[in-house]
Amino acid sequence: MNIAKEVASRSTCDRKHVGAVVVRDKSILATGYNGSVRGLGHCDDEGHLMEDNHCVRTVHAEANAIVQAARNGMRIEGAGIYVTASPCWGCFRLIANAGIVRIVFGEFYRDQKIFDVSQKLGIELVDFSKSAAAIA
C-alpha cells in the first residue's frame, strides 16, 4: 500500500489523489494514478472538467493501471490490485473483467455495491484501513 500511496503522489487532479498497483507473486506488474487522457491537458494545468459534481478530465488510477498493463503486454488475470481508495463502480467493473481476483483498498470511497458484487464474483475485497488498525 505504501507503493500505491507513492504512485498517488503523481496524480494530476488535486480533487483526489489515487494510486493503484497491480501485483502477482509479490511482483509489481503495473501502476496507475489519476491523470488526464494521454496527450490532453491536466487538471493541475487547465482546471477541472466538472460534470455532476465530479471531475471527468481524469482517467482513474485503476483504469490507468489496467491500460498500462495492456500497453506493455502484461497479463494481469489472477493478480491483485492495491488502490489507495476503494474503486468506483466503473473501475470495479474493469477490475472484474480484467480477471483481477483481489482488491486491497486504503479508504472507502463512495460505492457500496462493490461489496455485494465482489462476493458474487469471488473477488476478495480487503479494507486495509481496518487491517492496519487491527495490526497497530
Which grid cell sits at 115? 461489496
Residues 6 or more apart from 36 whose CB is under 8 A from it? 12, 13, 42, 43, 57, 58, 59
- Please name the amino acid found at residue 105: F
62 is catalytic: yes
Catalytic residue among 6, 51, 62, 124: 62
Residues 6 or more apart from 135 whose CB is under 8 A from it? none
Residues annotated as catalytic (active site), given as ranges: 62
